[in-house]
């Protein structure tokens, strides 16, 4: 439920469009995705939806929908939010970081939070303290730390934890539900767990790369570490263990990919002299399901049942697609993944379907293999090869969760 297809961001456009990204999703065992449609200054939300729908129409191999990212509030925003909710877009997103590009202030966030709740929609939040990050990043560059390691050092765990706690306070004031995207820290997970234990409608996701990759990768020599420039950055072992525990204990309910691929050549290299200009993001939709099975279920970090819950059932339930998606029963779509637990695979950029010149999981051995994937009962992928129709996907209007 968290992808960025054909998305302009930080001076580049993600290397997967809806055609290539949807094929990669199918090969990896995903049959439905929800993409983030970004508003640009001066655009109205219905126009944003129409524009992004045209990008995917007739080009997606699997089913899809959109969240609308509000980056530039305007006088008629409230009325337009109601219009897109009526069209089946029942989730919005706001940013607490990326000042001057997407970041909103607390008053704007609170207003959108209140209105989305009134409409029965879910508000997704990118929770990082953008003001502090910008100060720290500027200090890094002035001190001569211009390489990718500066990305990690300018975004310490506290910048996420503070923003998550602030978001929870605002949600409590608005008496509204809130969904935190791509959480990476133990402190943020604990804050969400505490809110949920108090009966508040707070929920959150983490991503495959935060569960499996370590912040030591930012110390890779040269510019190679730019492969791992994602926001928030990767964290250390204690944070990864907290995320796994949060998934087991239902503090976190979803594992997403935050698929936001930028190639090293010609895209990540925009920041070769200043880490602040490295487009933030990495490919991941193709490897979300197999990596979580192979390195979550097989080592005993997650039960098989919980694995299904966090990759399929809870995303569908949380974002208004259940029981059409996320469950096997009469009347639901026959979206099925056949996984062979006795087989295995190796992740290689040169053989993957994602349209990117690298993967952060290069040469990882993955126990288990996605053998067959069915969309509404029709075979769309077999053993790493897409065999479906390029226009086989449908736009899904969603209900309020």
Alpha-carbon distance 262 to 282, whole Å? 6
pLDDT in the model for residue 300 = 98
Using omega within 30 degrees of 0 as the cis cutoff, is the peptide bond preceding 297 cis? no
Tell which residue, 89, 75, 100, 146, has the closest CA to residue 122.
Answer: 89
Domain boundaries, the chain: 8-386
**Which residue stretches of the chain have pLDDT < 50?**
none
Q: pLDDT digit string (tens) for 23-46?
A: 999 999 999 999 999 999 999 999
Which single residue is written with the structure tokens 């509204």?
A: 176
Kind of pairing, strands 336-346 and 365-375? antiparallel
CB 83 within 8 A of CB 47: no
Secondary-structure breakdown of the chain: helix, strand, coil percentages, each rounded to the nearest 5: 40, 20, 40
Q: Which fold has domain 8-386?
A: TIM Barrel (3.20.20)
pLDDT in the model for residue 401 = 76
Q: Is 263 helix (H, G, I), strand (E, B) or coil?
A: coil
First to last CA, the chain: 14
Instruction: Identify the helix (H) or strand (E) that includes residue 256.
Output: strand 254-256
Per DSSP, the residues of 70-100 read --S--TTHHHHHHHHHHTT--EEEEESS-TT
Instruction: Identify the helix (H) or strand (E) that includes residue 379.
Output: strand 378-382
CB 156 within 8 A of CB 133: no
Residues 6+ apart with CB under 8 A from 256: 1, 2, 181, 182, 205, 206, 207, 288, 315
Q: pLDDT digit string (tens) for 82-113?
A: 999 999 999 999 999 999 999 999 999 999 99
CA quadruple 68, 239, 9, 54: dihedral positive or negative?
A: negative
């Amino acid at each position: 439920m968290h992808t960025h297809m054909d998305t302009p961001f930080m001076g580049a456009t993600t290397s997967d469009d809806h055609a290539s990204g949807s094929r990669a999703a199918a090969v990896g065992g995903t049959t439905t995705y929800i993409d983030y449609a970004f508003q640009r200054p001066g655009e109205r939300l219905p126009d944003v939806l129409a524009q992004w729908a045209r990008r995917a129409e007739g080009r997606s191999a699997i089913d899809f929908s959109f969240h609308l990212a509000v980056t530039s509030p305007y006088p008629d925003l409230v009325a337009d939010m109601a219009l897109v909710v009526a069209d089946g877009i029942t989730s919005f997103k706001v940013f607490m970081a990326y000042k001057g590009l997407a970041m909103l202030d607390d008053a704007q966030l609170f207003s959108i939070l209140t209105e989305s709740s009134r409409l029965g929609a879910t508000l997704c939040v990118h929770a990082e303290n953008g003001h502090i990050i910008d100060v720290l990043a500027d200090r890094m560059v002035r001190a001569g730390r211009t390489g990718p390691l500066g990305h990690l050092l300018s975004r310490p765990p506290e910048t996420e934890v503070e923003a998550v706690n602030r978001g929870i306070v605002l949600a409590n004031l608005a008496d509204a539900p809130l969904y935190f995207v791509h959480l990476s820290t133990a402190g943020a997970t604990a804050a969400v767990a505490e809110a949920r234990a108090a009966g508040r409608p707070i929920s959150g996701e983490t991503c495959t790369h935060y569960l499996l990759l370590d912040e030591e990768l930012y110390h890779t020599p040269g510019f190679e570490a730019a492969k791992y420039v994602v926001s928030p950055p990767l964290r250390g072992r204690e944070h990864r263990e907290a995320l796994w525990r949060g998934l087991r204990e239902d503090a976190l309910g979803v594992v997403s990919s935050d698929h936001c691929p930028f190639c090293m050549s010609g895209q990540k290299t925009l920041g070769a002299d200043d880490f602040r200009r490295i487009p933030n993001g990495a490919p991941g939709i193709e490897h979300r399901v197999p990596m979580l099975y192979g390195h979550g279920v097989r080592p005993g970090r997650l039960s098989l049942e919980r694995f299904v819950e966090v990759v399929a059932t809870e995303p569908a339930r949380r974002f208004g697609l259940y029981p059409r998606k996320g469950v096997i029963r009469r009347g639901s779509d026959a979206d099925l993944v056949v996984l062979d637990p006795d087989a295995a695979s190796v992740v290689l950029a040169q053989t993957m379907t994602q349209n990117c010149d690298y993967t952060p999981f290069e040469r990882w051995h993955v126990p288990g293999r996605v053998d067959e994937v069915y969309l509404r009962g029709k075979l769309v992928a077999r053993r790493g090869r897409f065999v479906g129709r390029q226009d086989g996907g449908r736009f899904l209007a969603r209900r309020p969760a």
